[in-house]
Homo-oligomer: A and B are copies of this chain.
Amino acid sequence: MNENTLSIFALGGINEIGKNMYVVQYGNDIVVIDCGGKFPDESLLGIDLIIPDITYLEENKEKIRGLILTHGHEDHIGGIPYFLKKLNVPIYGTRFTLGLVELKLDEQKLLRDSTLIPIDSESRLEFGQISTSFFRISHSIPDCLGVVFHTPEGNVVHTGDFKFDLTPVNNQYSDIHKMAEIGNQGVLALISESTNAERPGLTPSEMLVGSHIEDAFLKAEQKIIISTFASNINRVQQIVEASIKTNRKLALLGRSMVNVVSVAIERGYIDIPDGMLIEPYQVNELPPEKVVILCTGSQGEPLAALSRLSSGSYRDILILPNDTVILAASPIPGNEKGVSRIVDNLFQLGAKVIYGGSNKTGMHVSGHGYQEDLKLMLTLMKPTYFIPIHGEYRMLHHHQLLAESVGVEKNKTFILNNGDVVDIQHGAARQTRKIPSGDTYVDGWGVGDVGDIILRDRKQLSEDGMIVIVITISKNEGHLIAGPDTISRGFVFIKDSGDLIKEVNQLTKHTIEELQKENRHHQWKVVKQNIKKSVGQYLYAETKRKPMILPIIIEI
Contact = CB atoms under 8 A, between A and B. Distances in A.
Contacts of A493: 449, 453-454
A304 interface: no
Contacts of A455: 490
Interface string A431-461: 0000000000001111001000111011101
A471 to B, nearest CB: 9
A315 interface: no
A216 interface: no
Interface in A530-556: 542-545, 548, 550, 552, 554-556
Contacts of A334: 336-337
Do most interface residues of chain A lie in helix, strand or loop, or is the interface mixed? mixed
B490 A552 contact: no
Interface stretch (A179-187, A201-209, A254-262, A479-487): A479-487
Interface residues of A, number: 63
Interface stretch (A162-170, A339-347, A378-386): A339-347
A42 interface: yes
Contacts of A344: 15, 392-394
A445 to B, nearest CB: 5
A544 to B, nearest CB: 3
Given A482-B556, A490-B457, A544-B444, A348 B462 contact: no
Interface in A334-364: 334, 336-337, 340, 343-345, 347-348, 353, 356
Given A353-B394, A458-B465, 6 more contacts: A15-B344, A46-B545, A340-B392, A444-B544, A445-B544, A461-B461
Given A468-B552, A548-B489, A459 B462 contact: yes
A348 B46 CA distance: 31
B463 A458 contact: yes
B449 A492 contact: yes
Contacts of A489: 457, 461, 466, 548, 550
Nearest 3 Cβ contacts at the A-B interface: A444-B544, A462-B462, A461-B461
